[in-house]
Amino acid sequence: MSASDNALAGDAANVISPDKLPFVQVSEGVRLKELTGRSAPAGAKSTLGSVALFELDPGHASAWSHNKVGEESFFILEGHGEVWTGNTAHPVGPGDYILIPPAVVRSIRASKGETLKFYAITTPAWSKDDDVLVPAPEGTPK
């Protein structure tokens, strides 16, 4: 890559401290901080990918949904819970990494008594138009 290519691509790293960002309340007991993505702070906006730090209060879960084209990954930082894909529960804990292809209906739930903290990484960057809310599959937690 030439010097002019570096200048076009931006040659300075943007260090983002989640501690300095406000939480956005997604639903009761579910909040996030978008570090990079379409709604990220100035200097961190991207359509290529998004990274959000999620916190789920004990016993709370994300909405049931799927992405039309976005691939999603979760990296668990703290706490325990379950990632539901369809009507199958997958136990998760610190250090676990979960890859969810597009069109897979999913929800992530914090265990009772523990806050679940994780990064959600979406490529391309998460957008409201790509996220499809669906009813909980039969036999799963609502």
- Write down the pLDDT at residue 118: 98
- What's the sign of the alpha-carbon dihedral 131, 136, 140, 142? positive
- Main-chain phi, psi angles of 120, to 5 degrees: -110, 125
The model's pTM: 0.88
Angstrom distance (rounded) from CA 134 to CA 128: 14
Distance CA 50, CA 65 (A): 17
Backbone angles phi, psi at 77, to 5 degrees: -100, -50
* DSSP one-letter code for 45: B
R_g over Cα of the chain: 16
Task: Say if residues 72 and 121 touch (Cβ distance below 8 Å).
Answer: yes
DSSP state of 5: H
Residue 20 has φ and ψ, to the nearest 5°, of -95, -5
pLDDT at 43: 86
Average pLDDT of the segment spanning 79-92 = 96
Query: Which pLDDT score, from 0 to 100, does residue 12 have?
Result: 75
Tens of pLDDT, residue by residue over 45-56, are 999 999 999 999
